[in-house]
Amino acid sequence: RAGHAFSSPGTFAARRDAIRDSTGFLALFAEVCRLFRSPEDYADAAAGLAAALGAGGVAYAEVYVSPEICARIGLEPEPCLEAVDAAFAATRERCDCRILLDTVRHWGPEAAARVLDLYERRPIDRVVGFGMGGDEASFPASAFAGQYARARALGLKTSVHAGEWLGPESVREALDEAPRPAPDPDGAHPSRHIQHRNHCPDLELAPVSRQDRRLDRRLPNGDLSDHALLWPLRAGGSLR
């Protein structure tokens, strides 16, 4: 698109497969984000995503949208969010896509506040939740406790990525500080927190994505028998 190298087949896949750490992943993610030049680009991407999900047999999806990224690349967040919403509404018969507002962790709690400011100023029925991705080493989950409380007060479900790069301690903190965490379970042992907190949060685990980044070598031939993925289930938790 726009003459970018990713228009060449295999170029993006080669860059993705070369990622070895969070710096490389975030650099590639930022490069992809800069390909979006207008709200119409966001609408095209949203419509294409819904069509692809529907073709794959997915009936319902919750899709992260990051308004602060729009602002960082020089676009107004509100029209971009509205464009995504309109595209999802137009393609709902293919796949019912809802929106999770995303804040970027390494941009701090102030960025999270701006995301929620946008939602309060322009509430959209298709927005069902609020979450956080980004560099786990930048800010602890506890720094966002106030924004998570605000999101819940606004009626939004909440989620947080954890363990993607820092491992089990990041997962433990997320379980203590924010509801419905979405950890990558490499080395994590969330079962102790499920037992300690007297409730079972849903855990959204993605072990295969970690294996694809060549960071998890414990899935030979897809064998999950000794993987941390099973620990929440053994503790009575639920997985998504």
The pair phi, psi for residue 14, each rounded to 5°, is -65, -40
- CB contact at 8 A, 6 and 12: yes
Q: What pLDDT was estimated at residue 20?
A: 85
- Beta strands 238-239 and 181-183: pairing type? unpaired
- Active-site residue, from 68, 164, 173, 177: 164
Q: Is 164 a catalytic residue?
A: yes
Cα distance between residue 164 and residue 22, in whole Å: 9
Cα distance between residue 204 and residue 215, in whole Å: 18
DSSP state of 227: S
Q: What pLDDT was estimated at residue 204?
A: 65
In the chain (240 residues long), the average pLDDT of successive 10-residue segments reads 77 90 88 93 96 96 96 96 98 96 95 98 96 90 92 93 79 70 41 38 60 49 58 59
Cα distance between residue 178 and residue 161, in whole Å: 10
Quote the pTM value: 0.77
Q: What pLDDT was estimated at residue 4?
A: 82
Segment (H or E) for 47: helix 39-55
